[in-house]
Structure formats: C-alpha cells, structure tokens
Amino acid sequence: MKNLAKDITEIARYALREIVSSRRLPTPLVYESEFINAARKLKKDRVLKYLLEDEKKLEQKVEEVLAEAGGILSSLQLSLGMFEEENKENISSMNQSVASIKTFSEQSLDENVKKLVDEVVKLQASNQQLMDNLAETRQDLAEKEEKIHELETESQKDPLTQLLNRRGWNKYVEKEFERYKRYRRSFSVIMIDIDHFKRFNDFYGHTVGDAILRKFGALLTNSVRNVDTVFRYGGEEFTVLLPETRLEDAEIVAKRILDKINSTVFTYRKKNLELKVTASLGVADCKGKDSADAVLEAADQALYLSKNSGRNCVKTCLEIV
C-alpha cells in the first residue's frame, strides 16, 4: 500500500510539471488526462490497472454490446420476414394445386389421387402452423428489440434528475462534432458547476442536496431551447449542448441562465427551507477545435476561470490567457 501511494505521488508531481510546462490551466479534465499519460510514461502498471478501467471505457463497452444486440435482432427480423414472404408464395401455390387436385379427384374418383390430396392438405396445415409460429417469433423479437432500445436509453439517463448523463453526453457531442466537421455547422457548450455544493450536503444532508440537483436540472431545461440538450455530467456539474450557436450567442444564454439561478429560491418543504444557490459557468464553441473533447476542455477551463474570479459569473474560452 505504501509503494502504491508513493507511485501515485510520483505520478501526480510528474503530471503537474507537464501541465505547468505546457502553460495549461490545471482543470480536472486536464489533470485527469495528464495523470493517465504520466502513469504510462513512468510505467506504473499497478496504478494503470485501475485507471484503464475508467467509467468512460466501461460506458463505451456497454453501448457497443447494446448496439450489437440490437443489430442482431434487426437482422433476425429481416431474415424471418424474407422467409415468411417466400413461404406465403408457397402456400398460395399449394392452395391452387389442392383446388385443382380436388376438382380432378371429384371427377376421376381415383383413390390414389384422394390420398395424395389428403397428404397435401396435411402438408398445407403444417405449413400454415409454421407461418403462425414465425409470426409469433417475429413479435417476440420485436418486443425484445424494443426492450433493448429502452435499456440503451435508460443507460444514458441520470436517475436523480432524469437528464441525460455523461454517457449520453459523449454520444450527443460526438455526433454534433461530426456534423460540424462535415457541414461546418457551429455549436457551443456551456459547463455549469453549483458553487460550494458540498456545504449543502454537509449542513442540510444529502436529501436536501438531491432536491437541489433535481430543481437545478429542471431550471436548466426550462432555460434553453427545445433543440438544446441539458446533461448532468457528474456530481453537481452540468453541461448544455447548443447546436447552431456561436460563442457570443451561447454567452447570452449562459448569462440568462445565471440570472434565472440567482432569482430562484430553492425550497425544501419537509424542513421548511428556502435556500439561495449560485453557480459558475464556462462557455466554449467548436471553432478551431480538433475534437469534441477539446471543446469540452475549453469550456472546463472557462469554468475554472469563473471559479477563480469569485464564482457566480460567466466566462468564455476567449478570456483564457
């Protein structure tokens, strides 16, 4: 345990030196990235074992498995549908043949033909049963595919606030960045952190803290357009994705959100509490960024600047020195 603590200390010092030498702000996202890089460079395998099993990779694995399962079910449904259509044609031909044979058998009264008719009728009934079974199987597959879709949706939702979570964020922002690269459609990001949130939990308890998070999430959702998406990124940190939005317009939205936060009283009736909550906001756009992560990092650095400027304010990536 002592050796592990020593390794972590060595990695932390190395990571901080790298951040300082590159003249970047030591925000949580930057530090997390440099800490992992330092662990690799220093070949601290024991520490890497834990770092490589991070939440993001686990989330991506879950999403891959869900997508693969959904694809398999879709393929099965398609194959069953093709088989069912082909079998319908066979049944139709068989019905015509049976009708013709019956007409012939009634005229000829040949016992062998009657036996043949009986066999064909039995085969026809068996084929129809197969069709019925196929229809039930397709229905069952459709229901399972729907359940997988629901599971995938639930895996991207934060159970407390009912907002999309970090997994949902990763999916949405990557899609938006791809749209920016292909069509040059701009977008912006607002990163929001509730000021001194730990004090609410410590002084009033986690039940009150959870109530604040729920109301805060609802406030954000009601403060943006229908095309914008609000996420609970983690803890008391939220993000807002603003498609078709330039930096100057996103800053206006952020200031409007801040005004709404400052004019809102967060009540908790069970304890007869009326609380004032403030937040710090960082804004960035996709212009000049080479990845979705770079957009988020710029917003995170702007948020860090907001915290260091006294909190309860808005800063943009243009203000980062």
Query: What amino acid positions are annotated as catalytic residues?
Result: 236
With CA atoms as reference, report the closest residue to 242 among 221, 222, 228, 224: 228
How far apart CA 128 and CA 140 sit, in angstroms, is: 19
3-state DSSP helix/strand/coil percent for the chain, to nearest 5?
70, 15, 20
The residue with tokens 């033909």 is: 113
The residue with tokens 């990001």 is: 189
Strand order from edge to edge, sheet including 279-285: 229-234, 237-243, 187-194, 279-285, 314-316
Q: Within 10 Å of residue 204's Cβ, how many Cβ atoms? A: 16
